[in-house]
Chain A
Amino acid sequence: MSFREMSAWITLTSVLACFGVYFGSLATGQVRAPSFATLHLLLLCVSALVALQIGLHAVAARFAPKAARAVRDEREQLIQMRARGLGYYVLMAGVLALAIPGHMEGTKIDLLNFALLDVVVATLVVSAAQIVMFRRGV
């Protein structure tokens, strides 16, 4: 597995884990927005995501130091570009879908959480698309 593919796996799993906790807690009613508890949970999840990303990338770089320092080659750039293209469509669809809670009885926090969910889903799509393209070929 190349360093870039490993990086995509790290992003996919860490985003899924951290924001899974956040949105899972909201969905199950363990925290209710707006509240300081929700804000604290969000900050905790974002901090955990940053720590996981840095830590896991550092570990991955120790196993492949040359690949970690190298610039992306043309295939890796193509994969990144195509994956981000897919993520863009997901992001745009999510932004348009924000109109639903916006025009119903959604609060500011609901809108914020929907926007955050949109960003998270788009990030997951980008990472998953990268993994698929690394595996199946471009």
Chain B
Amino acid sequence: MAGPPIANQIRRLRFEHGEMTQSELAERIGMTRQTVAAIEAGKYSPSLEAAFRISRVFGAALEDVFQWTEVD
């Protein structure tokens, strides 16, 4: 099954933020670790609210965390 055309930098950002675990990130945004793993793997596109929550955890802009990858 093709994933959504959205790339993300969550793995790198977690590593840069004290090697934050998926569980820690999940707890901070009110989701399960499995959902964070699915987002990180590009298997699930989070809602806009969840995307903003993730960006805020890393103190980054939304587009620094998520990028649209589909070529027009």
Interface residues of A (CB under 8 A from B): 2, 4-5, 67, 70, 73-76, 134, 136-138
Contacts and interface: CB of A to CB of B under 8 A. Distances in A.
Contacts of A134: 34
Contacts, number: 37
Given A137-B41, A137-B44, A138-B44, A76 B35 contact: yes
Given A2-B34, A137-B1, A74 B46 contact: yes
Interface of B: 1, 3, 30-35, 38, 41, 43-44, 46-47, 50
Q: Which of the listed residues B1, B30, B34 has the most CB atoms from chain A within 10 Å of its own CB?
A: B34
Contacts of A5: 34
A134 B47 CA distance: 17
Contact of B38 (A4, A67, A137): A137
B44 to A, nearest CB: 5
B1 A136 contact: yes
A137 B2 CA distance: 10
A70 B3 contact: no
Nearest to B26: A73
A60 to B, nearest CB: 14
Contact of B31 (A74, A136, A138): A74
Contacts of B38: 75, 137-138
A41 B45 CA distance: 46
B32 A138 contact: no
A70 B30 CA distance: 9
26 contacts: A2-B32, A2-B33, A2-B34, A4-B32, A67-B32, A70-B32, A73-B30, A73-B32, A74-B31, A74-B35, A74-B47, A74-B50, A75-B31, A75-B32, A75-B38, A75-B44, A75-B46, A76-B32, A76-B35, A134-B34, A137-B1, A137-B38, A137-B41, A137-B44, A138-B38, A138-B44
